[in-house]
């Protein structure tokens, strides 16, 4: 799976969240649908998480804070065109 850098958000003065995404992947249960895995990393705490588009399902929230998760969910919905 190829992973691409997407964007970096400055959410606090010393805190950034980096977003990456995978190439389009085929879901074995739904071969006609493509999915994208979105990766979030809080650069300050090194917390990582993964989510899937277009389902907006979290694969792993890692150790992101609730505040980070709320922010990342907004990013997922605003960038749903990645699918």
Angstrom distance (rounded) from CA 24 to CA 52 = 11
pLDDT in tens, 23-38: 988 877 767 777 888 9
pLDDT given at position 33: 75
CB distance 16 to 7 below 8 Å: no
Average pLDDT over residues 8-35: 84
- Fill in the DSSP letter of residue 81: G
Contacts by 22-31 with C-beta closer than 8 Å and gap 24+?
A: 25/1
- pTM, two decimals, is 0.82
pLDDT given at position 80: 65
Domain limits of the chain? 3-82
């Amino acid at each position: 799976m190829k992973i691409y850098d997407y964007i970096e958000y400055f959410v606090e003065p010393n805190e950034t969240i980096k977003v990456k995404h995978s190439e389009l992947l085929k879901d074995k249960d739904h071969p006609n649908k493509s999915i994208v895995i979105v990766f979030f990393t809080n650069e300050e705490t090194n917390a990582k998480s993964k989510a899937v588009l277009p389902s907006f399902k979290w694969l792993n929230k890692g150790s992101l804070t609730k505040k980070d998760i709320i922010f990342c969910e907004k990013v997922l919905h605003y960038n749903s065109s990645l699918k």
